[in-house]
Structure 1
Amino acid sequence: MKLDKPVTGGPCWTELGTNDLEAAKRFYTELFGWRPETDARQEAGGYTIAHLGDAAVAALAPLYQESQPVAWNVSFAVRDADATAREITEAGGTVLVGPMDVFDVGRFAVSVDPTGAAFQLWQARSFPGAGLFNAPGSLGWVELMTRAPEQARAFYPSVFGWSVNASEHYTQWGLDGADFGGMVTMDDKFPPEVPPHWLPYFAVADVDTAASTTTSAGGTALMEPTSLQGGRRIAVLRDPQGAMFGVYRSPDED
């Protein structure tokens, strides 16, 4: 990811909704070296922020509704959540939750794009989002998995102003020349029950070790560690509770 801090329109935060918060804390602490801190306020509902050093890097939270899947979610920074929510609806998306205030830290909404992938909006007040990107254990890339790529290419630039850098094999999203994510077309290799979704990728020091740690803890390697053109190595994993996420290492991190 060429972004190194939250910027308007770009990914600013990722959070896990899980059915076993304590197990998730243990798993990700072992995997990424996170230091989780759970908000003690009853109204926070167990919301837990994971840190690397002093930097907040991600969140873990219990499932708040029976229909909520165990999954990682990606938030995009906006100046005005209410205005962006209206733009989402006008562009063919759906707003599921909010916009609503989260204490004094920001304003939040959950939306679904026209292809069926859920994502979140974050209008920062006292909390801007992640304090670290691209370092081991922190967010470094976001990827949209969808069965309707042309709809996605029309929707996201209209709502967020993203650039589209599309090749024959892959589409990358960017802002002002800084690419931060991509898009994969879900083909027959994806089981029909897997919905369109946003997948966060976390930087790691060693992709193979991250995959081994995941499987040893009861998780799954959905895509085994793979080297890509240009030297990047990636894997797609599933944690013991069923949430999917990616890990990667870039050659310039050697």
Structure 2
Amino acid sequence: MSQDSKPVGSVGWTDLTVKDAVALKDFYRDVVGWKAVGLDMGGYEDFLMIPPGSDAPAAGICHARGPNAELPPVWIVYITVEDLDRSLERVAALGGKALGKVRSAGPMGRYCVIEDPSGVVSALFESAKKQG
């Protein structure tokens, strides 16, 4: 997940979570030219998908395992927010719901997958606060 310097309100990342990430990463490699780089998930690999001629990933393709086991097989956009806790309060107040707990994105920040009142799934991402 690469969210560096994405302004609040922008889409900073996209993931696809499926049962067979290995086969699907090959599909997108052959269809759009992405190169897959494995990302260790502790016993299996998810994949960062790199566009031709770039070193920066454009998206992730993930296995529906562990904390991702219940995610639907759709492209999920990660929308950058200023304050994740406040945004999650607004999600609940306006008829949406969090799908699982707030998760760490390591040194990049934290996020939570949500469902809006119409049933559409996305994720909210809060960048780590800069120290000093």
Query: With structure 2 as the length reference, what TM-score do the two structures score?
Result: 0.79
Whether the 8 Å contact between 2:3 and 2:13 is mirrored in structure 1 is: no
Size of the aligned set, in residue pairs, is 123
Whether the 8 Å contact between 1:134 and 1:202 is mirrored in structure 2 is: no
> What is the distance in 1 between the residues matched to 2:93 and 2:26?
41
In the other structure, the counterpart of 2:9 is: 137
1:240 lines up with 2:112 in the alignment: no
Q: SS of the counterpart of 2:65?
A: coil
* Deviation digits for residues 43-63 of structure 1 (CA, Å, limit 9, x no counterpart): xxxxxxxxxxxxxxxxxxxxx
1:224 lines up with 2:101 in the alignment: yes
Q: How far does residue 168 in structure 1 lie from its aligned partner after superposition?
A: 2.1
In the other structure, the counterpart of 2:74 is: 197
> What is the distance in 1 between the residues matched to 2:125 and 2:27?
27
> What is the distance in 1 between the residues matched to 2:39 and 2:2?
18
Gaps (5+ residues) in structure 1?
A: 5-132
1:171 lines up with 2:43 in the alignment: no
Whether the 8 Å contact between 1:211 and 1:224 is mirrored in structure 2 is: no
1:147 lines up with 2:23 in the alignment: no
Q: How far does residue 195 in structure 1 lie from its aligned partner after superposition?
A: 4.8
1:207 lines up with 2:79 in the alignment: no
Whether the 8 Å contact between 2:34 and 2:49 is mirrored in structure 1 is: yes
Question: Which structure carries more relative contact order (alpha carbon 8 Å, separation 6+)?
Answer: 2
Q: Which has the larger radius of gyration?
A: 1
Amino acid corresponding to residue 180 of structure 1 in structure 2: A
> What is the distance in 1 between the residues matched to 2:110 and 2:19?
25
Whether the 8 Å contact between 1:3 and 1:178 is mirrored in structure 2 is: no
Gaps (5+ residues) in structure 2?
A: none
In the other structure, the counterpart of 2:32 is: 160
Q: How far does residue 182 in structure 1 lie from its aligned partner after superposition?
A: 1.0
Whether the 8 Å contact between 1:211 and 1:225 is mirrored in structure 2 is: no
Amino acid corresponding to residue 77 of structure 2 in structure 1: P
Whether the 8 Å contact between 1:204 and 1:247 is mirrored in structure 2 is: yes
Identical aligned pairs, as a percentage?
26
Residues 172, 199 of structure 1: alpha-carbon distance in 2 compared, 3 angstrom cutoff: same
Query: With structure 1 as the length reference, what TM-score do the two structures score?
Result: 0.43
RMSD over aligned Cα atoms: 2.6
The structure richer in strand per residue is: 1
**Aligned counterpart in structure 2 of residue 184 of structure 1, from 62, 68, 82:** 62
Residues 159, 235 of structure 1: alpha-carbon distance in 2 compared, 3 angstrom cutoff: same
Q: How far does residue 209 in structure 1 lie from its aligned partner after superposition?
A: 1.4
* Deviation digits for residues 27-46 of structure 1 (CA, Å, limit 9, x no counterpart): xxxxxxxxxxxxxxxxxxxx
Q: SS of the counterpart of 1:234?
A: strand
Whether the 8 Å contact between 2:115 and 2:121 is mirrored in structure 1 is: yes
Whether the 8 Å contact between 1:143 and 1:200 is mirrored in structure 2 is: yes
Whether the 8 Å contact between 1:144 and 1:183 is mirrored in structure 2 is: yes
